[in-house]
């Protein structure tokens, strides 16, 4: 198959959809890989690295879309790319259709095959192409939290791990999924006094078994959260209720009970945030302060560490790209139930119910296009 990897043109997006190692795997299997010149530069991969892996470099985005049977990307196409997409072309990328009617209609019009990373789903209902980004955001939440706890950034001025004779900082992680687990591990590794909360008792039992001694568990409820935020230096929001907005677990009125210089990191900001006072921020202006409490609410945290994020993402996406390239999208989706779940739009038809429901558009069972 002829595979194209365009340079991401969405504002501040430095990831790339294929590493030289990934290109080499595809080339080894007899596929042709075309990468847009400097496509990987934001993640530290040079044209020379792709050439050495057996890929070819094309100068412009139009050349990549023009030649490719399958486009592998990171972010959804933006308006200037719409006209480059051809009927029957496979687009394998994050789409998040349900949050954009404009994108959904544009992709319906192209009659392309849209395989969305975010809906590829394993039998245990986990989302293997979202997990790597949650891992990055979870680990990063502690790094960012530690930074904003420094006095120069307005923080309370505590070191996460303390020193001999001085107790460590207290870190509260609300939500013990992928993000929360990684956050708790990082904070614990730095020596902080960590408490992780979840509404799932089996999950808390699991943490109790596997986490180091400086991680305690607590049931998540309003009473406990209200008490805990009074004494904690860093609070990380990491909850997710699939398909709906995050609940506001830390309220505006609770902020008044916290010490000035407390830091809140709301990783769940992309689902509306689990703190009432959350509003999405960007890497160029990541924090704001209310009642002396610092809020860090960047919606695309992995974007700050594109090298790590690119490698983490492609480690997960490549196996499916190999299946699609080797068998064609139809056979690959017939053979793989997880990949089949990734089909959102096929040849002008919506085949993913959540997307059709979001905009009251007609829906067809995915089986009807296979």
Ligand X SMILES: NC(=O)c1ccc[n+]([C@@H]2O[C@H](COP(=O)([O-])OP(=O)(O)OC[C@H]3O[C@@H](n4cnc5c(N)ncnc54)[C@H](O)[C@@H]3O)[C@@H](O)[C@H]2O)c1
**Residue 198 sits in the site that holds ligand X (CB under 6 A):** yes
Q: Which residue is nearest to ligand X (CB)?
A: 177
Beta carbon nearer to ligand X, 101 or 118: 118
Within 285-314, which residues bind ligand X (CB under 6 A)? Answer: 299-302
- Alpha carbon 166 to chain centroid, angstroms: 36
Give the whole-angstrom CA distance, residue 195 versus residue 348. 48
- Alpha carbon 41 to chain centroid, angstroms: 20
**Residue 217 sits in the site that holds ligand X (CB under 6 A):** no
- Residue 298 CB, nearest approach to ligand X (Å): 6
> Quick one: which segment of 93-101, 269-277, 312-320, 336-344 binds ligand X (CB under 6 A)?
269-277
Please pick, from the candidates 269, 312, 313, 332, the single residue that binds ligand X as defined by CB under 6 A.
269
**E strand or H helix at 71:** strand 70-72
Give me the catalytic one of 270, 283, 295, 335. Answer: 270
3-state SS class at 359: helix
Query: Total binding residues for ligand X by CB under 6 A?
Result: 32
Active site residue 96: yes
**Residue 134 sits in the site that holds ligand X (CB under 6 A):** yes
Give the whole-angstrom CA distance, residue 145 versus residue 8. 29
DSSP 164-183: TTBPPPEEEEE--SHHHHHH
**Residue 240 sits in the site that holds ligand X (CB under 6 A):** yes
Give the CA angle between residues 76, 309, 113 to the nearest 5°. Answer: 30
Residue 8, both tokens: 């991401």
- Residue 142 CB, nearest approach to ligand X (Å): 14
Beta carbon nearer to ligand X, 83 or 279: 279
Helix axes 306-327, 131-148, angle to 10 degrees: 180
**Residue 218 sits in the site that holds ligand X (CB under 6 A):** no
> Quick one: which segment of 9-17, 51-59, 69-77, 177-185 binds ligand X (CB under 6 A)?
177-185
Residue 292, both tokens: 């002396």
Q: Are 171 and 216 in contact (CB under 8 A)?
A: no
Please pick, from the candidates 176, 261, 306, 338, the single residue that binds ligand X as defined by CB under 6 A.
176
Q: Of the candidates 354, 326, 327, which has an alpha carbon nearest to the alpha carbon of residue 341?
A: 354
- Residue 176 CB, nearest approach to ligand X (Å): 5
For residue 353, what are the contacts with CB-CB under 8 A and spacing of at least 6? 363
**Residue 247 sits in the site that holds ligand X (CB under 6 A):** yes
Beta carbon nearer to ligand X, 25 or 121: 121
- Residue 262 CB, nearest approach to ligand X (Å): 19
**Residue 133 sits in the site that holds ligand X (CB under 6 A):** yes
Which residues are registered as beta bridge partners of 49? none
- Residue 207 CB, nearest approach to ligand X (Å): 10
Burial of 210 (0-12, 13-18, 19+ CB in 10 A): exposed
Give me the catalytic one of 49, 96, 248, 291. Answer: 96
Please pick, from the candidates 14, 36, 220, 262, the single residue that binds ligand X as defined by CB under 6 A.
220
* Distance set, CA 221 to CA 122, 141, 154, 330 (Å): 30, 22, 29, 46
- Residue 305 CB, nearest approach to ligand X (Å): 11
**Residue 76 sits in the site that holds ligand X (CB under 6 A):** no
For residue 312, what are the contacts with CB-CB under 8 A and spacing of at least 6? 132, 133, 135, 136, 302
Please pick, from the candidates 250, 270, 305, 317, the single residue that binds ligand X as defined by CB under 6 A.
270
**Residue 334 sits in the site that holds ligand X (CB under 6 A):** no
Active site residue 209: no
For residue 49, what are the contacts with CB-CB under 8 A and spacing of at least 6? 20, 40
Contact residues for ligand X, defined by CB under 6 A: 133-134, 137, 174-180, 197-200, 203, 220, 238-241, 246-247, 249, 267-271, 299-302
Q: Which residues are catalytic?
A: 96, 270
């Amino acid at each position: 198959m002829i595979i194209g990897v365009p340079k991401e043109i969405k504002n501040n997006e430095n990831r790339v959809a294929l590493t030289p190692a990934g290109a080499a795997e595809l080339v080894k299997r007899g596929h042709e890989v075309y990468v847009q010149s400097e496509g990987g530069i934001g993640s530290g991969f040079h044209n020379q690295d792709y050439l050495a892996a057996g890929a070819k470099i094309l100068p412009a985005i139009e050349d990549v879309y023009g030649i490719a049977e399958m486009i592998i990307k990171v972010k959804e196409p933006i308006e200037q790319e719409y006209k480059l997409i051809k009927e029957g072309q496979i687009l394998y990328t994050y789409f998040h259709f349900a949050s954009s009617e404009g994108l959904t209609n544009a992709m319906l019009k192209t009659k392309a095959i849209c395989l969305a990373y975010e809906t590829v789903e394993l039998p245990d209902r986990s989302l293997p192409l979202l997990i790597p980004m949650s891992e990055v955001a979870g680990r990063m939440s502690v790094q960012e939290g530690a930074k904003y706890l420094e006095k120069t950034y307005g923080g309370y001025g505590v070191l996460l791990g303390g020193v001999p004779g001085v107790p460590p900082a207290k870190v509260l992680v609300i939500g013990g999924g992928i993000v929360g687990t990684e956050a708790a591990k990082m904070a614990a590794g730095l020596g902080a006094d960590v408490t992780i909360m979840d509404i799932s008792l089996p999950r808390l039992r699991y943490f109790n078994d596997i986490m180091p001694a400086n991680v305690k568990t607590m049931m998540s409820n309003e009473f406990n959260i209200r008490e805990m935020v009074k004494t904690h230096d860093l609070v990380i929001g990491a909850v997710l209720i699939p398909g709906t907005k995050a609940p506001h677990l830390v309220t505006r009125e609770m902020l008044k009970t916290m010490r000035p210089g407390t830091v809140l990191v709301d990783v769940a900001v992309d689902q509306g945030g689990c703190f009432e006072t959350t509003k999405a921020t960007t890497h160029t202006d990541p924090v704001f302060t209310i009642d002396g409490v610092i809020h860090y609410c960047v919606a695309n945290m992995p974007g700050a560490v594109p090298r790590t994020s690119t490698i983490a993402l492609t480690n997960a996406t490549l196996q499916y790209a190999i299946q699609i390239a080797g068998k064609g999208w139809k056979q690959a989706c017939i053979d793989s139930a997880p990949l089949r779940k990734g089909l959102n739009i096929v040849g002008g038809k919506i085949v993913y119910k959540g997307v059709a429901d979001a905009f009251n558009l007609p829906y067809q069972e995915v089986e009807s296009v296979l």
